[in-house]
Amino acid sequence: MIIERLKKEGLKGRGGAAFPTGLKWEAVKNAKADKKYVICNASEGEPGVLKDLFILRKYPEEVIKGINLAMREIGSDSAYIFLNPKYFPKLEKKLKKAIKDLPIVLFKKPHGYICGEESTLLNVIEGKPKMPRLKPPFPTEKGLWDYPTLINNVETFYQAVQVAEGKYKAERFYTLGGKVKKKGIAVLPENFTVRQILEHTGNWPNFDFFVQVGGGMSGEILVSEELDRPAGGAGSIIIYKKNANPMKIMRKWARFFMNESCGQCVPCREGTFRLNEALKRKDFDRELVEDILFVLSEASLCPLGKGAAVPFIGYLNKIYAKKP
Amino acid sequence: MQKNLKFLIDQKEIEAAEGKTVLQAAAENGIKIPALCYHPDLKIKSNCRLCLVEIKGEKGLVPACRAIIKEGMEVKTRSEKIDRTRKVNLELLFAQHIEECDDCNLAKDCLLLGLAREYKANIQRFLDRKKNRKVYQFGPIVFDQTKCIDCRNCVEVCAEQSVGFLQSRGQGAGTEIFPSLCQERDCVYCGQCIMHCPVGAIEAAGEFENSEEFLKKDGKIKIFQFAPAIRASIGESFNLPAGSVVTGQLVAAIKALGADKVFDVSVAADFTTMEEAQELIEKVKSNTTPCLTSCCPAWVKYLEFNYPNLIDHLATTRSPQIIMGGLVKTYWAQKEKINPKDIMVISVMPCTAKKYEIQRKELEVNGLRPVDYVMTTRELAYLLKKKKINLAGIKPEAADSPMGDPSGAGVIYGASGGVVESALRTAYYKLTGKNLEKLEFEQVRGMDGIKKAEIDIEGKKIKIAVINGLGNAKKVLEELKRDPKAYDAIEVMACPGGCIGGGGQPIPVSPEIRKQRAEALYLIDQGKANRLAHQNPDVIKVYEEFLNNDKIIHKVCHTSYNAKTKGEIKILKNSKETK
């Protein structure tokens, strides 16, 4: 019943990958196993995204309700909330109050960007190395301790409840940051374009700018002419001044990905390190940088490595190249 | 029955069995897809990202090591995109790997270097970021971090051996593979890490750098002895197919190297069989079984370190190379009127742990080490090639007598199950006065990790377990904790398949190669006129002339064991400075 409604409303995952929620729930529901798990991914590890914190603060009961709904629907008697360690002290009491005696464990996520990646998250809960698993099998087939596992983002659970209760308005929570006038969370229709969101929130800049959407590190770069499309990803919009120091911007990204690479595969372990090195140099070796970005995006084992190349490629093609 | 699927690789129609990966199917059909972290013995890790291919209908590049074949699928192994990722990926691999190609395990067989040429990778594009990493030596194993590409094959194989000594730590570019400092974990020198390292970052001490040193020693009579397993493996280093038997060529090649005498350790295996059969009988009679075999030094160290309470169950019989070295420096030296101090015994072994075994103090005979130097199969092949001796083309010669002609039982020592099979043939005779009607113990042969059998000797049932791989040994040792009398005789060889898959053997190795090497040894046994240790005339003669009282038998053929604490981990300046 709820699965049909999720499908009908077209709810998609709000963690970044936008996988249809109904299909995911259905896959776990149909999986044959004597145990199933539900995990609420509250890692929110992508800098510049704060909407899960907002939701958990404001609507903890709704999120727990959503987790419980999923558990009942797929036939699970055990759930986890995989919570960002920075959020943990702020939210622990609130969430425990909302959980009451439901079999939902509050799990403090260790530090590290990669831990928020869903298969790494599984390894972390199981006490294994903080590294992504090879997919397939997907968590819906073999997840926590190899049991079918439903992993959804905080907002997805919140929205699922809205769907179940007939209150769903096809909205999402946007995080606005960078050189905006009004930082913070905006709740607006999910089909709003970036332009509409900026205009609606009174954030359209009066200077030359570009934006990074979907995540403050791995998000895509869009110039002001490209804003007639939704924000996507985890729903963040960060505004940069177009004439911001390119090296400073790129070095920030490079340092981040180098520090957060788990080290499992060659392109990401070595590539992010070499990218950071190349950007530290005074002479910018574009051929080298593009080679590294190419293997990162084409050959990395997990979404982190692939995502690491995204902002650079956009920035180099759309903004850097156009500089005099 | 397994179904065959038809599909296309680079527009060529391929047929392969359902369930295979693209990488396996391609290899079976002679299509090369580069892969570094892939090894048929190990789990698919897919972290080197070199085997990426294009599959029609799939988004992005797909690792061939994980892609399962489907009917009608279309695979492309080369394209502009694939080639560019491989080229840059190789450059990134070389950025982690110091090239020291002049003295490397892999030398001309280096996969990395070959691929760099094929994909025109600039191996100097990046500065070596690991040049200040450490070179570790533990026992005879040298691990050079400056060459390591973090693929973790060694970590996996070490864990599989239930040794867990090589571990990984750190994150991103800070990842490092390192020897554990934990007091409860120690290397047993099996050398399986060497066999599974794709880039030659691990080798045995003395391999390549010091191989020639002992040949230069003047005034010494140089006695070479070669292990049972070598005859079926060294041919591979000279481009012969796996499982080629080259006993005669091996002897001739060693002689060409400058050996004064060449003995066959399989003969000494016959002595080991005689003594071990006796021990088994005594343990059965005194109800102090199980009797654990002791010719594998890695296994012995594993037990001494991890299960010291079981030491009393280890057969005290020395390993064949040690018995032979002891006999050379006593019996043979007396006969030849040579001062044993003037003899240098050099073993060629499929094993790295044998380098450690000869240093065990309790093995000394009259204050002398029975064996002075151990070289691995690889080391001998390297040396022969360096001296331009082509083993494949040399005229075969017989090993020297009186210790040159083993029984078939002595030859099968090189394969898992061979020690127990040999001992049972002789134990049966010792107990019944008759030889077995059927000599082959099929149940203990083959590549299974744990093989079990039961043999009835005049109403007495002997329960046997034959194990290869220390991970499997651990399982059986844990079983013994629950049921101490589960087995009467337990044979353990630390390496997969036994010595034929030993840590000193030619690289590469695979389940198929090990199988062929083992089959070759069983074929030799089958073709021997004498297949019983107790009927080997050389053995009988030595027992009559020399090993004719308990004191001397004990001195030359038996040893003792003791609980071991963690060995030293040395940090070397570079891999050339090995000891």
Q: What is the mean pLDDT of chain B?
A: 94
State whether B172 and A262 contact (CB < 8 Å).
yes
Q: Which residues of B touch A264 (CB under 8 A)?
A: 47
8 A C-beta contact, residue A9 and residue A163: yes
Q: What is the mean pLDDT of chain A?
A: 95
8 A C-beta contact, residue B355 and residue B203: no
Q: Which residues of A touch B64 (CB under 8 A)?
A: none
Q: Where in chain A are the domains?
A: 2-164, 171-241, 246-320
pLDDT at residue B539 is higher than 80: yes
Do B543 and B405 sit in the same domain of this protein? yes
State whether B48 and A266 contact (CB < 8 Å).
yes
Instruction: Give residue for tokens 């797909």.
Output: B62
State whether B92 and A112 contact (CB < 8 Å).
no
My answer on whether omega of the bond before B290 falls inside 30° of 0, hence cis, is yes
State whether A299 and B129 contact (CB < 8 Å).
no
Backbone φ, ψ for residue B547 (5° rounding): -85, 60
Tokens of B523: 């074929």
Residues 6+ apart with CB under 8 A from B536: B267, B270, B405, B406, B407, B410, B530
Give residue A42's pLDDT.
97
8 A C-beta contact, residue A48 and residue A177: yes
Rg, chain B, Cα only: 24
Residues 6+ apart with CB under 8 A from A304: A113, A114, A117, A132, A218, A257, A260, A261, A262, A268
Any CB–CB contact under 8 A between B68 and chain A? no
State whether A298 and B52 contact (CB < 8 Å).
yes
What distance in Å separates the CA atoms of residue A65 and residue A88, rounded to the nearest whole number? Answer: 19
B214-225 pLDDT tens trace: 777 777 899 999
Of B532 and B2, the one with more pLDDT:
B532
**Domain end: B78, B107, B138, which one?**
B78
User: What is the CATH number for B174?
Assistant: 3.30.70.20
Q: What is the mean pLDDT of residues B207-234?
A: 84
Candidates 3.60.60.10, 3.40.50.11540, 3.10.20.30, 1.10.3720.10; CATH matching A2-164: 3.40.50.11540
pLDDT at residue A210 is higher than 90: yes
Tokens of A132: 């992504």
8 A C-beta contact, residue B225 and residue B269: no
* Sheet with B261-264: strands ordered across: B261-264, B221-226, B343-349, B373-376
Candidates 1.10.287.180, 1.10.10.10, 3.10.20.600, 3.30.1150.10; CATH matching A171-241: 3.10.20.600
Q: Answer whether residue B87 is part of any domain.
A: no
Query: Which chain B residue's Cα is nearest to A266?
Result: B48
pLDDT at residue B1 is higher than 70: no
Do B300 and B152 sit in the same domain of this protein? no
State whether A300 and B49 contact (CB < 8 Å).
yes
Tokens of B41: 């013995």
Predicted structure pTM score: 0.94
Any CB–CB contact under 8 A between B125 and chain A? yes
ipTM of the complex: 0.93
Do B149 and B195 sit in the same domain of this protein? yes
Give residue B578's pLDDT.
54
Give residue B108's pLDDT.
75
CB atoms within 10 A of CB A20: 14
A127-162 pLDDT tens trace: 999 999 999 999 999 999 999 999 999 999 999 999
Any CB–CB contact under 8 A between A261 and chain B? yes
What distance in Å separates the CA atoms of residue B340 and residue B342, rounded to the nearest whole number? Answer: 5
8 A C-beta contact, residue A271 and residue A296: yes
Q: Which residues of B touch A267 (CB under 8 A)?
A: 49, 85, 89, 92
State whether B173 and A134 contact (CB < 8 Å).
no
* DSSP for residue B284: H
SS3 assignment for chain A = CHHHHHHHHCCECCCCCCCEHHHHHHHHHHCCCCCCEEEEEECCCCCCCCHHHHHHHHCHHHHHHHHHHHHHHHCCCCEEEEECCCCHHHHHHHHHHHHCCCCEEEEECCCCHHHHCHHHHHHHHCCCCCCCCCCCCCCCCCCHHHCCEEEEEHHHHHHHHHHHCCCCCCEEEEEEEECCCCCEEEEEECCCCHHHHHHHCCCCCCCCEEEEECCCCCCEEEEHHHCCCCCCCCCEEEEEECCCCHHHHHHHHHHHHHHHCCCCCHHHHHHHHHHHHHHHCCCCCHHHHHHHHHHHHHHCCCHHHHHHHHHHHHHHHHHHCCCC
Q: pLDDT grade, residue B577 (50/70/90)?
A: low
What distance in Å separates the CA atoms of residue B191 and residue B511, rounded to the nearest whole number? Answer: 17
Q: What is the mean pLDDT of residues B185-194?
A: 98
Which of A259, A267, A292 is opposite residue B172, by nearest beta carbon? Answer: A259
8 A C-beta contact, residue A251 and residue A279: yes
Any CB–CB contact under 8 A between A299 and chain B? yes
Tokens of B125: 């594009």
What distance in Å separates the CA atoms of residue A320 and residue A244, rounded to the nearest whole number? Answer: 11
State whether A299 and B174 contact (CB < 8 Å).
no
Do B117 and B27 sit in the same domain of this protein? no
Do B224 and B205 sit in the same domain of this protein? no
Do B116 and B138 sit in the same domain of this protein? yes
Number of domains present in the structure of chain B: 3
Q: Which residues of A touch B48 (CB under 8 A)?
A: 265-266
Q: What is the mean pLDDT of residues B146-159?
A: 97
Do B148 and B68 sit in the same domain of this protein? no
Q: Buried b / exposed e across A274-310, counting CB within 10 Å, b at 16+? A: bbbbbbeeeeeeeebbebbbbbbbbbbbbbbbbbbbb
**Interface mutation target, options B47, B59, B97, chain A, most CBs of A under 10 Å:** B47
State whether B171 and A295 contact (CB < 8 Å).
no
Give residue B18's pLDDT.
95
Q: Give the domain A246-320 fold.
A: de novo design (two linked rop proteins) (1.20.1440)
Q: Range of B50's domain?
A: 4-78
Any CB–CB contact under 8 A between A274 and chain B? yes
Any CB–CB contact under 8 A between B101 and chain A? no
State whether B46 and A301 contact (CB < 8 Å).
yes
Q: What is the nearest CA distance from B88 to chain A, expressed in angstroms? A: 7
C-alpha atoms less than 13 angstroms from C-alpha of A209 in its C-beta half-sphere: 18
pLDDT at residue A324 is higher than 50: no
8 A C-beta contact, residue B154 and residue B166: yes
Instruction: Give residue for tokens 């005594």.
Output: B282
State whether B93 and A269 contact (CB < 8 Å).
no
Give residue B576's pLDDT.
61
User: What is the CATH number for B527?
Assistant: 3.40.50.1780
Query: Which chain B residue's Cα is nearest to A273?
Result: B173
What distance in Å separates the CA atoms of residue A74 and residue B556, rounded to the nearest whole number? Answer: 70
Backbone φ, ψ for residue B463 (5° rounding): -95, 130
**Interface mutation target, options B92, B123, B124, B148, chain A, most CBs of A under 10 Å:** B92
Q: Which residues of A touch B66 (CB under 8 A)?
A: 134
Q: Read off the amino acid at residue A38.
A: V
pLDDT at residue A88 is higher than 50: yes
pLDDT at residue B571 is higher than 50: yes
Any CB–CB contact under 8 A between B172 and chain A? yes
Rg, chain A, Cα only: 20
Residues 6+ apart with CB under 8 A from A86: none
Any CB–CB contact under 8 A between B122 and chain A? no
Greatest alpha-carbon span in chain B: 78
Any CB–CB contact under 8 A between A133 and chain B? no
**Interface mutation target, options B38, B48, B49, B167, chain A, most CBs of A under 10 Å:** B49
CA B292, B504, B379, B385 dihedral sign is positive
Do B316 and B361 sit in the same domain of this protein? yes
What distance in Å separates the CA atoms of residue B197 and residue B175, rounded to the nearest whole number? Answer: 17
Give residue A172's pLDDT.
96
Q: What is the mean pLDDT of residues B439-456?
A: 91
B449-485 pLDDT tens trace: 999 999 988 888 999 999 999 999 999 999 999 999 9
B54-64 pLDDT tens trace: 999 999 999 99
Do B529 and B438 sit in the same domain of this protein? yes
A254-290 pLDDT tens trace: 999 999 999 999 999 999 999 999 999 989 999 999 9
Residues 6+ apart with CB under 8 A from B443: B451, B452, B453
What distance in Å separates the CA atoms of residue B240 and residue B250, rounded to the nearest whole number? Answer: 13
Q: Which residues of A touch B93 (CB under 8 A)?
A: 266, 270
What distance in Å separates the CA atoms of residue B48 and residue B119, rounded to the nearest whole number? Answer: 16
B262: left (phi over 0), alpha (psi -120 to 50) or beta: beta
B402: left (phi over 0), alpha (psi -120 to 50) or beta: alpha
Query: Which chain A residue's Cα is nearest to B152?
Result: A264
Query: Which chain A residue's Cα is nearest to B62?
Result: A299
B266-to-A315, B408, B525 alpha-carbon distances in Å: 69, 9, 11
What distance in Å separates the CA atoms of residue A63 and residue A211, rounded to the nearest whole number? Answer: 30
